[in-house]
Chain A
Amino acid sequence: MEWRTTQATLLARLRDPEDHEAWAEFDRTYGELILRYCRKRGLALSDAEDVRQIVLLSLVRSFPKFEYRREKGRFRGYLGRTVRNAIFRYNTRPHRSLELLVLDGDRPPELAAPDDHDEVWEREWIDHHLRLAIDRIRDQHDPKSLEVFGRLLAGERVRQVADSLGMSPAAVHKIKQRIRDRLKEQIARQLEEEDPSK
């Protein structure tokens, strides 16, 4: 459970703009989500990378002031807004310096009504948590289970997996079930960490 405690403090640690490990960890964790979302919104990879950079630097500035109050909105909403704002600024001010683009973010959002119900973002956010969860439950499983899981992910049917690994289909099913349970627990944990209930 060591992971949980460090992770639980990640968002808290981000309040310190100088905690560079926390920011590096944040960038590793959420960077890909931001990138994928930008690509879905039609940005070229290079532009997506620039936006990722603007978002990161904007968060370094704004995060210490961010309040987690679940009733005021979730972290993913806050992050999604920051990304959309950054894309907007990036697209509308092509000749502005990176620094100014970041500093512009200190002003109130430019979008008339921040569209908090952004299906693309919601979908990407779910995928992000699925990837994170898969990654993080890996070391809770023995190599055999991981092999089974890998094959299932690659699209093999239960029977095929059972045959090629010399197991009974029931055993494969059992592993599949167990992994699904772990994933659910893991995702619940991630959500709790992202938006603590207390």
Chain B
Amino acid sequence: MSHDPELARFGLDDDTWITRLRDAQAPAELGDLGPYRLIREVARGGQAIVYEAIRQTDGARVALKRLIAGRFANAVMLQRFEREVEAVSLLSHPNIVRFAGMEMHEGQPVVVMEWIEGVRITDWSRGRDRGEVLVVLRRIAEAIAHAHRSGVIHRDLKPENILVAEDGEPHVLDFGIAKWSEIAKPAEPSLTLTNQFLGTPAYCSPEQVGEDPRRIDARTDVYSLGVIAYHLLVGRLPFDLPAGLRRVLETIATAEPRRPRDVAPGFDRDLEAILLKMLAKDPDRRYASMDLFLADLGRLERGDPVEAEGQSRRMLLRKFFHRNRLPLAILSGFVALIAAFGITMAILYKRAETEATRLEQVESFLTSMITPEGTPPSGAPAFTVADILDRASARLEGGTVEDPEVRGRLHLRLARNHGSIWNWSQAAEHARAALEVFRETGDRSRIAQALAQLGLAEAFLENPRAVGHSEEAVAILREREGPRSPDYAAALGVLAFASYRAADPPDPERAEACYAEALEILESEPESGPLLAGTYYSYAVLAVERDDPRAAETRYRRALAIYTELPRTLSIIGARCMEDYAKTLAALGRVEEARSWLHRSREDRPLDPAVCETPAVIGEILRRNGNDEAAIPFFFESQALTCTYLTSVRPEHAKTLGGFTEALEQGRLEPGFLLEIGATCRRIDPDLHASWLRSLRSLEEIYERTDPERAAICRSVLRKSGTGTGS
């Protein structure tokens, strides 16, 4: 080693070397701060240092928080800060660490807090089971909800700020102090950047790393608690944080969190949906309040479908770009399948209802909901389907309907209607209520019981409980209607679907058997068109999932042959089926056939964001299979469709955007019009904007290899379009 003379100065060769070490290790004299004797430093962040201290006047142990650079605050800042401390001091909740107030010592603001003996929540959670962790998370969320109701937002939730005491009670510290950087923003940017994030930014929300701190509200805490919950339950952070602050902030602003089930196979689906909802980049997509999160947590604990699940299903198709599965596996037309499933249910309901008594009462009750007292004056927005359903639910719960049969039927109908607008948690509540009523009315309501079970199966579609509910329905219908009845076959189709989509682990063999039996019955039934087509469709998806493209092709063909014969009202599902078939063809490399089915799927069909996205999905499949050249036109097609769609919803842009559609159809790529499309997209539909960005990114990757000039255009548009939702 080249440092020998230097090394000698450390005195390690002297006999007294141990003494020397002891001296070096002696705790630094911290001294006093006003009337407090400082014991030790317990935490240090970018904003403040917290000390354990003794108040010398009465010997009380307290936590003192001293702001870093607090001396430099001006009077306005101090006043604002003091007001915040005051607001927090007024909070009174067993799980919130109490603030005694703010004091000035040595010219600096110091916050005096209750001293808590406890361990950091991430240390506490090691080796604890899910149940224990959820109980503590609930306590924390309740404490935060309490603060929110008093108008106090935490803004800096992270494991360091949550201590769990020996009795298992969590304590949330450090409430509501505006980040120092929000109060005192240095003009010199290099100062803020480093200073602000000396603590970990891993728990910061996208809006906090964005440029506009005014966007921070209660949902910011929902996000940060989501990261903590993810950390505790999944065992790691939802993102890998790269080195370098700017990249970290970019990751927080744009990276999709890893799905817990990808990290921990077997992770509860509902809990996953809840976590992902908390972690949504766009605050509008999170729980709007801590109370709504708590309500969903309650549903999870009771085993009811969670609100977040509906969203996750809806997001499923949009999310699959983020999943790195084989292209074939991403082809499942899940959204379409749910629609096909809905048809099955609707047919069953209809049939059961025509046989039911008291149908008139049900109808008149529902009609009364559409023309209620207090109809909005003309010009005000009309009631949405959801409004009407809410009204009906409230009335029903109010006990105005005495006849149990009518009540049960109404619950069933509401379950169905909620299902049709993807309101799964309410759908399940009504299906469950219906089931209870019909169990009481006894044997004459067996079929209605089966329908309620199917309603529950539908509401739980991706949850293992769907299997049990559909089994019950299958058993009842077989017993009542016989083993050749179409209703029984329909229920079998549901069970088949549940067996591979919801069962944990999936049971594709059982699914095959159920499908085969259902199809055999339905094929010999002359009037079963929609059911038969829907069943073939979902059977085809099973083949895709099992990586059997040949079987998928045969089944898609059969389903499409039936759909084309069906009345127009069902054609939308037929169109979805065509799109999915086109995806399978693309995965098989049959580009021309894929293109032709894709175009057929759009005939006589209104343009919507899903339609705009589909060609890009096909392009992506081709790209991932290494067929860049074939992929490019599909991405352009998607861009052009998007442009046309925007024109249709915003006719005032028709003049400008119309020309762009043409340019795109000719394969032109210019930053000017791309930016215009992106900006309009962003204003109208964030989901469409996200998919537009994805397809542009894919194009960029392709051109990176083939056409640097075009790659540069894509890159600059992407950069200027800003990938975050925060700004």
Given A18-B193, A36-B28, CB of A49 within 8 Å of CB of B12: no
- Pick from B208-216, B241-249, B428-436, B542-550 the stretch touching chain A: B241-249
Given A20-B197, A24-B198, CB of A188 within 8 Å of CB of B28: no
Interface string of B49-84 (1 = CB under 8 A from A): 100000000000000001011011000000000000
A45 interfacial by beta-carbon distance below 8 Å: yes
Interface string of B19-31 (1 = CB under 8 A from A): 0111111001111
Given A20-B197, A129-B10, CB of A192 within 8 Å of CB of B1: yes
Set B68, B243, B244, B248: member contacting A53, Cβ < 8 A: B68
Interface string of B489-525 (1 = CB under 8 A from A): 0000000000000000000000000000000000000
Residues in chain A near residue B198, CB distance under 8 A:
20, 23-24, 27
From 1 to 42 in chain B, residues with beta carbon under 8 angstroms from any chain A beta carbon are: 1-3, 6-7, 9-12, 17-18, 20-25, 28-31, 33, 38
B190 interfacial by beta-carbon distance below 8 Å: yes
Residues in chain B near residue A184, CB distance under 8 A:
7, 10, 12
B52 to chain A, nearest CB (A): 14
B72 and A98 contacting across the interface, CB-CB below 8 Å: yes
B199 to chain A, nearest CB (A): 8
B317 to chain A, nearest CB (A): 37
Residues in chain B near residue A45, CB distance under 8 A:
30-31, 33, 38
A32 interfacial by beta-carbon distance below 8 Å: yes
Bound-state CA distance A188–B31 (Å) is: 34
From 120 to 134 in chain B, residues with beta carbon under 8 angstroms from any chain A beta carbon are: none
Set B24, B38, B197: member contacting A130, Cβ < 8 A: B24
A126 and B7 contacting across the interface, CB-CB below 8 Å: no
A127 and B22 contacting across the interface, CB-CB below 8 Å: no
B262 interfacial by beta-carbon distance below 8 Å: no
A57 and B10 contacting across the interface, CB-CB below 8 Å: no
Q: Which residue of B lies closest to A99 (CB)?
A: B186
Q: Which residue of A lies closest to B200 (CB)?
A: A24
Set B18, B69, B186, B197: member contacting A152, Cβ < 8 A: B18
A18 and B186 contacting across the interface, CB-CB below 8 Å: no
A191 and B18 contacting across the interface, CB-CB below 8 Å: no
A143 interfacial by beta-carbon distance below 8 Å: no
Residues in chain B near residue A19, CB distance under 8 A:
243-245
Bound-state CA distance A128–B243 (Å) is: 27
Set B29, B71, B191, B201: member contacting A99, Cβ < 8 A: B191
A130 and B21 contacting across the interface, CB-CB below 8 Å: yes
A44 interfacial by beta-carbon distance below 8 Å: yes
A20 and B106 contacting across the interface, CB-CB below 8 Å: no
Most chain A Cβ neighbours within 10 Å, of B12, B38, B49: B12
Given A32-B28, A46-B108, CB of A20 within 8 Å of CB of B20: no
A126 and B24 contacting across the interface, CB-CB below 8 Å: yes
Bound-state CA distance A47–B66 (Å) is: 12
Set B6, B188, B194, B201: member contacting A23, Cβ < 8 A: B194
Set A17, A56, A155: member contacting B193, Cβ < 8 A: A17
Residues in chain B near residue A61, CB distance under 8 A:
190
From 84 to 118 in chain A, residues with beta carbon under 8 angstroms from any chain B beta carbon are: 97-99, 102-103
Give the tally of cross-chain contacts (CB within 8 A).
124
Residues in chain A near residue B68, CB distance under 8 A:
49, 53
Set B25, B72, B190: member contacting A131, Cβ < 8 A: B25
Residues in chain A near residue B246, CB distance under 8 A:
18
Bound-state CA distance A98–B248 (Å) is: 26
From 132 to 146 in chain A, residues with beta carbon under 8 angstroms from any chain B beta carbon are: 134
A98 to chain B, nearest CB (A): 4
From 21 to 39 in chain A, residues with beta carbon under 8 angstroms from any chain B beta carbon are: 21-24, 27, 32, 35-36, 39
B546 to chain A, nearest CB (A): 44
Given A44-B31, A153-B25, CB of A21 within 8 Å of CB of B243: yes
B7 and A188 contacting across the interface, CB-CB below 8 Å: yes
Residues in chain B near residue A180, CB distance under 8 A:
12, 17
A16 interfacial by beta-carbon distance below 8 Å: yes
B194 and A17 contacting across the interface, CB-CB below 8 Å: yes
Residues in chain B near residue A21, CB distance under 8 A:
243-245
Residues in chain B near residue A103, CB distance under 8 A:
188
Bound-state CA distance A13–B244 (Å) is: 10
- How many residues of chain A are within 8 Å of chain B by beta carbon? 52
Residues in chain B near residue A197, CB distance under 8 A:
2
Q: Which residue of B lies closest to A31 (CB)?
A: B44
Interface string of A39-83 (1 = CB under 8 A from B): 100001111011001001100110000000000000000000000
Residues in chain A near residue B7, CB distance under 8 A:
184, 187-188, 191
Interface string of A171-197 (1 = CB under 8 A from B): 000001000100110011001100001
B71 and A46 contacting across the interface, CB-CB below 8 Å: yes
Q: Which residue of A lies closest to B69 (CB)?
A: A98
Bound-state CA distance A35–B49 (Å) is: 13
Q: Which residue of B lies closest to A195 (CB)?
A: B3
B368 interfacial by beta-carbon distance below 8 Å: no
Residues in chain A near residue B194, CB distance under 8 A:
17-18, 20, 23, 56-57, 60
Set A17, A99, A130, A153: member contacting B10, Cβ < 8 A: A130
Q: Which residue of A lies closest to B105 (CB)?
A: A46
B67 to chain A, nearest CB (A): 10
A97 and B3 contacting across the interface, CB-CB below 8 Å: no
Residues in chain B near residue A102, CB distance under 8 A:
188, 191
B195 interfacial by beta-carbon distance below 8 Å: yes
Bound-state CA distance A23–B190 (Å) is: 13
B187 interfacial by beta-carbon distance below 8 Å: yes
Residues in chain A near residue B1, CB distance under 8 A:
188, 192
Residues in chain B near residue A50, CB distance under 8 A:
69, 71-72
Residues in chain B near residue A24, CB distance under 8 A:
198
Residues in chain B near residue A39, CB distance under 8 A:
28-29, 31
A49 and B245 contacting across the interface, CB-CB below 8 Å: no
Given A20-B194, A20-B197, A49-B66, CB of A187 within 8 Å of CB of B22: no
Most chain A Cβ neighbours within 10 Å, of B17, B49, B69, B197: B69
A126 and B69 contacting across the interface, CB-CB below 8 Å: no
A13 to chain B, nearest CB (A): 8
Residues in chain A near residue B197, CB distance under 8 A:
20
Residues in chain A near residue B3, CB distance under 8 A:
188, 191-192
Q: Which residue of A lies closest to B1 (CB)?
A: A188
Bound-state CA distance A47–B22 (Å) is: 27
Bound-state CA distance A178–B395 (Å) is: 81
24 A-B contact pairs sorted by A residue (CB < 8 Å): A17-B190, A18-B246, A20-B201, A20-B248, A23-B198, A39-B29, A39-B31, A46-B66, A46-B108, A49-B49, A49-B68, A50-B71, A53-B68, A60-B191, A98-B72, A102-B188, A103-B188, A126-B10, A127-B23, A130-B21, A152-B18, A180-B17, A184-B10, A191-B7
Given contacts A13-B243, A50-B71, A99-B72, 9 further A-B contacts (CB under 8 A): A17-B190, A20-B201, A45-B38, A49-B68, A99-B187, A127-B24, A128-B24, A130-B25, A152-B18
| Residues of A bordering B, CB below 8 Å | 13, 16-24, 27, 32, 35-36, 39, 44-47, 49-50, 53, 56-57, 60-61, 97-99, 102-103, 122, 126-131, 134, 152-155, 176, 180, 183-184, 187-188, 191-192, 197
10 smallest A-B Cβ distances: which pairs?
A: A127-B24, A20-B245, A130-B24, A98-B72, A188-B1, A191-B3, A18-B245, A99-B186, A46-B106, A98-B69
